[in-house]
Amino acid sequence: MMVGLLSRVAWRAGLVLLTVSALVFGFAGWQLWGTGLQTARSQDRLESEFEAQLGELATVPDTSTTVASVVPSTDAATSTTVVPSTVPPATDTAPTSAPSPTMAPPTTHGTRPVTVPSKPTTASNWFKVSQGDPVARIQIGAIGLDAYVVAGTRVEDLKKGPGHFPGSVLPGQVGNSVIAGHRTTYGAVFGDLDRVQPGDQVVVTIPTGDRYVYTVTSSEVLQPDAVASVMGWTEDAQLTLFTCTPKFTAHARLVVHARLEPGLSSVLWEAPPDPLTQYVDVGPSAPAADVVETHDVEVVDSVTGATVTVVVPADVEADEVTVADGEVVYPGSDEVQNEGATVSAPEVLSDGWFADRGAWPHVAGWAFALACVVGLVRVAVRRLRARLQGGWARRGTVAAVVLVALLPGLFCLFWFYDAVARLMPAGS
């Protein structure tokens, strides 16, 4: 009897392990290929939206005045000068036109300046974007990449394709435009980015119809916390691409640098002092938050001993406020401080395990739904076996029940995997 009990326990334990193994392998396959289906659908939508925007903006007459912006050349021997007909040519000693008022004066460091014409973003055919909108088309012939770039680098943005970092200029503007993308999941748009070599060309087209060619100059591997060091402002037009490395991990970041080829590109657009103003839902141009009523409270600084007056929300009492060497803390103070924060370096490719803790209820909910489907199928199969005679009739009926339950089961399994993926490191 004991042997029979142990056999049943071992059988059930083995069944549980096999089920868990099947779910794990299924999730691995979903991560590698299933997420790519999501991205492919998103890319189709982005293509349609991009083409519609391209058709609209490309037909708007450009009445803007070309402004000469001066950027330094990194190679004095091979530098070229691209000059609009309305601007006098530059000389070897000093540019003949002043830099654009929206740009910091460049430092030439003794190299020959290159005059690059730029158009103001006040033109009628310029555009602004919201996170999730198509912002460009990127093509890298060396690795066969052809994808639509989405505005933003949030988790939901990068599921659609490579994402443009809102804190950087848009492609086709003077400055450093930063684009991030996944390496192994969600279409693996930057899966072969490590194969890009100096001299390879990156072609970027924006919704105005302008086409810009960037030449790869170098690549490097950085730790996640060092990515911000290569995302700063540049005085010439550059493009920075980054993704995770090694492949199938989120251990480090592969960064590819490219510089504009003025002679092969459309006229540049000048960049505003704050690139965030080109996003309608981020930074200064975002809709204003609701006004919060406040009041003054007096609190003793626990470090200095001085009595200070601080401003807190009206629903916060004085005894809920603490001050330590000038730092004010009260319930909800972290949320208030973060409300107006501008976009910093993309953190989505730096998130670790369980980064999106809000996914836990979804994981539990879809797991419960999946268990209910499996449980109902088991009950139905048992009852059919008890009522029907053996043979093909019973087998056929059981198979029909399983097939009918397959669709809702796969539906629950898909969204269960999607919820679990939100807990995984997003940088892969």
In a domain, 398, yes or no: yes
- Note down the domain range covering 373: 352-428
How many domains would you assign to the chain? 3
Exposure letters 281-314 (e unless 16+ CB within 10 A, then b): bbbeeeeeeeeeeeeebebebeeeeeeeebebee
In a domain, 109, yes or no: no
Shared domain for 330 and 422, answered yes or no, is no
Shared domain for 268 and 375, answered yes or no, is no
Shared domain for 150 and 232, answered yes or no, is yes
List the one residue out of 254, 326, 272 whose CA is nearest residue 126.
272
Cα of first residue to Cα of last residue in the chain, in angstroms, is 51
Tokens linked to 365? 């909910």
In a domain, 18, yes or no: no
In a domain, 167, yes or no: yes
In a domain, 94, yes or no: no
In a domain, 179, yes or no: yes
Q: How far apart are CA 382 and CA 370, in angstroms?
A: 19
Per-residue pLDDT 10s for the chain (428 aa) are 677 777 777 877 877 787 777 777 777 676 667 778 889 999 999 999 999 999 888 776 665 555 554 444 444 333 333 333 333 333 333 333 333 333 333 333 333 334 467 888 888 889 999 999 999 999 999 999 999 999 999 888 998 999 999 989 999 999 999 999 998 888 889 999 999 999 999 999 999 999 999 999 999 999 887 888 888 888 899 999 999 888 877 788 999 999 999 999 999 999 888 899 999 988 655 554 444 567 777 888 777 777 877 777 777 888 888 877 667 777 765 544 434 334 455 555 555 555 566 778 888 898 899 889 888 888 888 887 777 766 666 677 778 877 888 888 888 888 888 777 777 665 55
Tokens linked to 61? 């007459």
Shared domain for 272 and 303, answered yes or no, is no
- Tell me whether strands 268-269 and 113-119 are parallel, antiparallel or unpaired: parallel
Shared domain for 41 and 145, answered yes or no, is yes
Shared domain for 154 and 228, answered yes or no, is yes
